[in-house]
């Protein structure tokens, strides 16, 4: 644990070197606000019985959840593996994925003030949507956002390990991003989806990536215990899959570029 803490401290120092870049990344995550605009201007929320205020809170929560669960490990890992930068880390007594994991956490910590500033601006333009979440729900949404991050981190790490075989694993991630974009609740609350989609979507990991934590934070109705159980089940399923593919993948590693 102390190794992870030291890694986190170092990665945080490193991330502070890139604070302008991170601020820009935070600003670039404002898709949910565009979606809110589309929904409210077209009165689409009436069809799903969510009023404007609750919808505003939902999309602001989506923004927050996305800010603290966005994952890019596949791109860093692929570059490191293909250029041989992974080599010194692979022969250290710590799985190199901890480096990427702490990089993400450090980046999230760095993002936090910028996300908060964006939220303040959001409230300035939407004073009706100001709310103070119940502390218990705030805590639960924090946990579910972290679990959502873990699920996405594991999925991307599994995809990243495929580069031991195909070298260009990031293209698989780009393919995977399409269902994530449409089914996670980033563009629309899952409750607004057609009935037949809702009949199977809850068995996939997608609604638990954004919709579930965002509903918890915004105070919208959601199945709390069911959501947490599914998040934990997905982590329990993905973790052994990751360790297996990592173990098999490193046997294929050729330490290219060095």
Q: Fill in the per-residue mask, 47 to 76: x = in contact with another protein (CB under 8 A), - = not in contact.
A: ------------------------------
Helix (H, G, I), strand (E, B) or coil at 131: coil
Least Å distance, CB 128 to another protein, is 43
Rounded Cα–Cα distance for residues 161 and 174 (Å) = 15
- Provide the greatest CA pair distance for the chain: 59
Of residues 128 and 167, the one with the C-beta less far from another protein: 167
- 34 alpha carbon, distance to own chain's centre: 19
What is the CB-side half-sphere exposure of residue 187 using CA atoms within 13 A? 9
17 binds another protein (CB under 8 A): yes
Residue (18 or 34) nearer to another protein, CB:
18
Structure-block tokens of residue 99: 């480096």
Number of C-alpha atoms within 13 angstroms, CB side, residue 59?
Answer: 26
Tell me how far, at minimum, the Cβ of 176 lies from another protein, in Å. Answer: 23
Q: Which CB, 37 or 258, lies closer to another protein?
A: 258
Least spacing, CB of residue 20 vs another protein, in Å:
13
What the block records as the tokens of 223 is: 């199945």
Q: Is 166 in the site for another protein (CB under 8 A)?
A: no
Residue 258 lies near another protein (rule: CB under 8 A): yes
Of 37, 92, 166, 199, the residue at the interface with another protein (CB under 8 A) is: 92
Under rule CB under 8 A, residue 90 binds another protein: yes
Q: Which of 97, 98, 104 is nearest to 72 (CA)?
A: 104
Task: Kindly indicate which of the ranges 10-18, 26-34, 154-162, 237-245 contains the residues binding another protein, using the contact rule CB under 8 A.
Answer: 10-18
- The answer to whether 10 contacts another protein (rule: CB under 8 A) is yes
Q: Which stretch binds another protein (CB under 8 A): 28-36, 83-91, 168-176, 215-223?
A: 83-91
Closest CA to 63 of 119, 138, 125: 119
Residue from 50, 1, 29, 23 nearest 189 by CA: 50
How far, in Å, are 6, 52, 82 from residue 100 at the CA level? 13, 39, 16
Identity of the residue, 106 or 230, whose beta carbon is nearer to another protein in the bound complex = 106
Q: Which residues bind another protein (CB under 8 A)?
A: 2-3, 6-7, 10, 13-14, 17-18, 84-85, 87-94, 250-251, 253-255, 257-258
């Amino acid at each position: 644990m102390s190794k992870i803490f030291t890694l986190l401290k170092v990665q945080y120092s490193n991330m502070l070197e890139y604070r302008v870049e991170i601020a820009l990344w935070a600003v670039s995550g404002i898709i949910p606000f565009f979606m809110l605009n589309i929904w409210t201007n077209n009165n689409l929320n009436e069809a799903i019985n969510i009023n404007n205020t609750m919808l505003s809170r939902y999309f602001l929560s989506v923004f927050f959840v996305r800010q603290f669960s966005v994952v890019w490990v596949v791109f860093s890992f692929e570059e490191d593996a293909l250029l041989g930068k992974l080599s010194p880390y692979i022969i250290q007594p710590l799985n190199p994925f901890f480096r990427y994991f702490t990089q993400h956490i450090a980046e999230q910590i760095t993002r936090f003030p910028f996300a908060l500033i964006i939220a303040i601006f959001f409230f300035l333009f939407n004073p009706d949507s100001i709310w103070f979440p119940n502390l218990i729900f705030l805590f639960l949404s924090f946990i579910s956002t972290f679990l959502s991050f873990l699920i996405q981190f594991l999925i991307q790490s599994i995809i990243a390990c495929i580069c031991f075989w195909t070298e260009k694993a990031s293209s698989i991630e780009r393919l995977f991003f399409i269902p994530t974009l449409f089914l996670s609740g980033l563009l629309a609350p899952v409750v607004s989806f057609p009935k037949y989609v809702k009949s199977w979507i809850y068995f996939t990991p997608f609604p638990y990536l954004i919709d579930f934590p965002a509903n918890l934070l915004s105070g919208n109705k959601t199945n709390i215990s069911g959501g947490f159980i599914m998040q934990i089940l997905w982590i329990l399923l993905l973790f052994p899959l990751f360790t297996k593919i990592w173990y098999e993948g490193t046997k294929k590693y050729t330490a290219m570029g060095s």
